[in-house]
Amino acid sequence: MLHYGHLVRILHCCTSQTMTEALSSMDLTSAQGHLMGFLAHCENPPCARDIEEAFHLSHPTVSGLLSRLEKKEFLELRPDSEDRRCKRIYMLPKGKECIEVMDRTILDNEERFVRGFTKEEKEQFAAYLTRAIRNMGQRAEPFPHKEDNF
């Protein structure tokens, strides 16, 4: 019997492994990479609370992630001009380099796992994955798009 979840998990592990390898060269964990990817998709600099809500993480977990990324000079926390209790998160040039590495790795992964597919098969594959995700009650987009109100 074919178990789709097992196949999806194997594909996820394959792509995660290549991303982990790419990020390790920058001394980043996958959790830190996910956070950087989130920041890249925000139109306005978010605050820690936005990250807590988007990732369903506790305040101490987000604070630790942000602190380590700030020490590694991937981002900077600055007080909000209207609310001094809130610190906004700004990506630094090193953070932008991280996004470039992640984007290249994502493109390489996607190219590898549809290698040998026809154009029609690629479109069907994307449609099937999107439908399966929706069937599970989720959205297929990883982050809110810049045009969405975040």
Instruction: Please tell me the predicted confidence (pLDDT) of residue 149.
Output: 34
41-57: per-residue pLDDT in tens?
999 999 999 999 999 99
| pTM for this prediction | 0.77
> At a CB cut-off of 8 Å and minimum separation 6, what does 89 contact?
39, 45, 46, 47, 48, 51, 66, 75, 76, 77
* The pair of three-digit structure tokens given for residue 60, joined into one six-digit string: 């101490």
How does 121-143 read in b/e, with b if 16+ C-beta sit within 10 Å?
eeeeeeeeeeeeeeeeeeeeeee
* The pair of three-digit structure tokens given for residue 66, joined into one six-digit string: 């942000």
Query: Which value, to the nearest 10 degrees, does the dihedral of the CA atoms of residues 70, 14, 108, 4 take?
Result: -120
Instruction: Please tell me the predicted confidence (pLDDT) of residue 142.
Output: 62
118-146: per-residue pLDDT in tens?
999 999 999 999 999 999 998 887 654 44
